A = this chain, B = another copy of it.
Amino acid sequence: MARMMSAPLLNEEKSEHYAACRQERTFNAHSVGNDTVMTRIRHQSLDCSPGCAVEATLQLIDGKWKGVILYHLLQGTLRFNAIRKRLPNITQRMLTTQLRELERDGFVLRTVYPEVPPKVEYSLTPRERTLEPVIMALKAWGDEHTEFRHGPEICADHDGIFSPAAKGIE
């Protein structure tokens, strides 16, 4: 979801009455060549109606992987590749960017151990802990209301958080 508007500034003209909305600015734009990296701003125009709190929250956990990442981190600190193992389909690039966003949003803490080989751990901040009920609500609903058949061998861990299979990883 969520693209930027083409001309956020021009927009002020015709929307004076909700111009006071959050106008978070790009904070980290490498913009190498023509591949603008990390132009973080999900949707700038939160319509300031009562529902916008819902929107605001959703922005923070959208992004195709955020939800799952947060969910997995709820079980404890994880290293980069440990997270990757839990998300078989994610690419490094995606994992990195998603983690960076979560970091910037104050949800995860990134700890780099100055070693060789490098070791980076991701853990949750207290702020994210407050999100836990939300994540769990999402999961609960998904468990109850979605029917997507899945091979048991890798998808059957709905009760024990991580089964013994997780013994020797990492």
Contacts and interface: CB of A to CB of B under 8 A. Distances in A.
A18 B85 CA distance: 13
A9 to B, nearest CB: 15
Interface in A115-143: 127, 130-131, 133-135, 137-143
Contacts of A32: none
Given A2-B1, A48-B151, A141 B57 contact: yes
Given A57-B138, A138-B57, A18 B150 contact: yes
A98 B68 CA distance: 23
A169 interface: no
Interface string A37-68: 00000010111111111111110011110011
Question: So how many copies of this chain end up in the complex?
Answer: 2
Contact of A47 (B46, B68, B137): B68
A89 B154 contact: no
B1 A63 contact: yes
Contact of A87 (B47, B70, B162): B47
Contact of A146 (B15, B50, B53, B146): B53
Contact of A67 (B15, B58, B127, B141): B58
B142 A18 contact: no
7 contacts: A1-B2, A15-B89, A17-B154, A18-B155, A22-B146, A48-B88, A52-B155
